[in-house]
Every structure is written in C-alpha cells, then in structure tokens.
C-alpha cells in the first residue's frame, strides 16, 4: 500500500505497509517526525521515493498528497485555536470528496461524542485531550486512506491516552490505515493488541520491523530504553 525507498531512513531496510495500525518507535531525535513529514510531502529529501498503491507521489505538493489519501496530524495541539470545533472539522474536509459532509460529521461524532457536545465551542478552550481528539478528527475529516499521527500520546493523562487508542481500533475497522509515531515504548506495550506491527528507528535509520514482543529482544531497544 505505502512504500518508502531510496532515502537514508530506509538504507538496507524495506519500509512497506499493507494496512492496519503500524507504530514507529524511536528515541528523541531519531527522525520520526522527519519521516512522517517526508511521507506527507512537507519535506522532500532528494531521490527519496514515496509510493502509494504503485504510484510515485514523492514529487507532489502536500495539498495533492492529501487528496491522494495521506493525512498528517502533527504533534501537539494541532488545531486552530480561534475557530470553533465544527469549523476546524470543516477545514479538515477541505479536500475530502468521496463521502458527503454529513456522513463524515456523523462518523466523527460517533467516534468522539465529546466533540459533538462542544461543536460550537472555540477550539482553544478545549482541554488538552479534547484538542488532541479534535486534531485526529480533523485528520479523519479528509477521509484518508492512511492517517499519520505524530506522537498522539504526548502530554496526555493515561486515561485519555487509553480512550484515544481505543478509537484507533474503530478507525482501523472503517478501513483507514494508521501510522503512529511514539517516543516511549511503554505505550506500545500497553496497547499490544491494537498495534499490528512495530518499526524501530534510531539515528535516522530503521533497524527493526515486526511484532511488539520481539521488540524487547533487539539490542538497540534494550540499550536505549532499558539501559542494558
């Protein structure tokens, strides 16, 4: 489905995703955000090829890549604080064409009921967790094939993280693939059954692909996360 080749991240490594929920784990400065930005076209490393469903999309601008179905939700409170919740969602629909607006709104509100209660509220006044949900919902509003989430658990309470990860399962069931980047390994271990495959990145290079259980055996992972 999605394949990235020919760039420094994927030297001696095949980055290919066939749907489901994938997680990219790596320590601070490993290149997770850079990699996600490369896929979404915000950064264009020379020669790097991003291939979606057999089509090379690496030369397209971000606005076109989103139309092809890859949407990035940046880390932090990635909303427009002056606009209302509904306006933020409308902004996400900016490029979505396949479904009607009503269907998209219904889907989002059933996924995050709290956003329906607060649809006319200014986004800047939402709590941190609600803002994160709004950011994810805004990504979903574009009706993507692949949703890229940059550190969705950053700065949130464990309970909120849990509810957000629960929603990922539903998103996956609707047919959208998800790529999550996370700094800590604990989130990956907490939600083992949700995540289909894990990638480990360090020093701008992928070194591992596989199941979470195998992850703990990798030497780099042990050194970085467990100090042994």
Partner 1 sequence: MGFRSSLLLVFIVPFIIFLASLFIPPSYQRVTILFLIYAGLTLPWVVLFKMGYVSLGSAAFYGAGAYIFVYLTKLLPALPYFLAVILPIPIIAFIAIIVGYATMRLRGIFFIFATFAAAEALRQIFLYSEINYTGHVGKIITESLTTIEALALLSIILVIAGLFFYLTTVPKFRIVINCIREDEELARVAGINTLRYKILFFTIASVIQGLVGSIAAWYLAYIDPDLVFSSMISIQVLVIGLLGGSGNILGTIAASALLVYLSEQLIRIASHLYLIFLGVSVILVAKFMKKGFSGFIEGIWKILENRREVR
Residues interacting with partner 1, by CB under 8 A? 40, 42, 61-63, 66-67, 71-74, 78-83, 87, 90-92, 94-95, 138, 142
**Pick from 143, 118, 145: nearest CA to 133:** 118
Instruction: In angstroms, give the least distance from the CB of 64 to partner 1.
Output: 9
Tokens standing for residue 28: 């601070």
Rg (CA), the chain: 17
**91/218 with CB nearer partner 1:** 91
Q: Which of 80/225 has CB closer to partner 1?
A: 80
Cβ-based nearer residue to partner 1, 79 or 177: 79
> Helix-strand-coil percent breakdown of the chain, rounded to 5?
40, 20, 40
Closest distance between partner 1 and the C-beta of residue 2, in Å?
Answer: 17
In terms of CB distance, is 27 or 69 closer to partner 1?
69
Residue 204 burial by Cβ neighbours in a 10 Å radius (0-12, 13-18, 19+): middle
Name the minimum Å distance from CB 74 to partner 1: 6
Q: How far apart are CA 3 and CA 70, in angstroms?
A: 12
- Smallest separation, CB 94 to partner 1 (Å): 5
């Amino acid at each position: 489905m999605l394949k990235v080749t020919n760039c420094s991240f994927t030297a001696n490594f095949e980055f290919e995703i066939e749907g489901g929920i994938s997680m990219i784990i790596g320590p601070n400065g490993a290149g997770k955000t850079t990699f996600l930005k490369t896929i979404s076209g915000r950064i264009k490393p020379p020669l790097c090829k991003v291939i979606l469903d057999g089509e090379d999309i690496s030369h397209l601008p971000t606005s076109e890549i989103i139309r092809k179905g890859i949407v990035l939700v940046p880390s932090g409170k990635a909303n427009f604080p002056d606009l209302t919740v509904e306006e933020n969602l409308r902004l996400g629909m900016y490029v979505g064409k396949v479904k009607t607006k009503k269907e998209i709104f219904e889907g989002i509100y059933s996924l995050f009921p709290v956003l329906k209660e607060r649809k006319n509220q200014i986004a800047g006044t939402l709590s941190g967790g609600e803002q994160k949900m709004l950011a994810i919902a805004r990504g979903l509003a574009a009706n993507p094939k692949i949703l890229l989430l940059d550190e969705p658990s950053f700065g949130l309470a464990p309970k909120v993280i849990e509810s957000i990860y629960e929603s990922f399962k539903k998103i996956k069931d609707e047919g959208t693939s998800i790529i999550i980047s996370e700094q800590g390994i604990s989130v990956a271990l907490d939600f083992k059954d949700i995540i289909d495959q894990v990638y480990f990145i360090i020093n701008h290079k992928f070194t591992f692909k596989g199941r979470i259980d195998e992850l703990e055996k990798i030497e780099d992972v042990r050194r970085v996360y467990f100090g042994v």
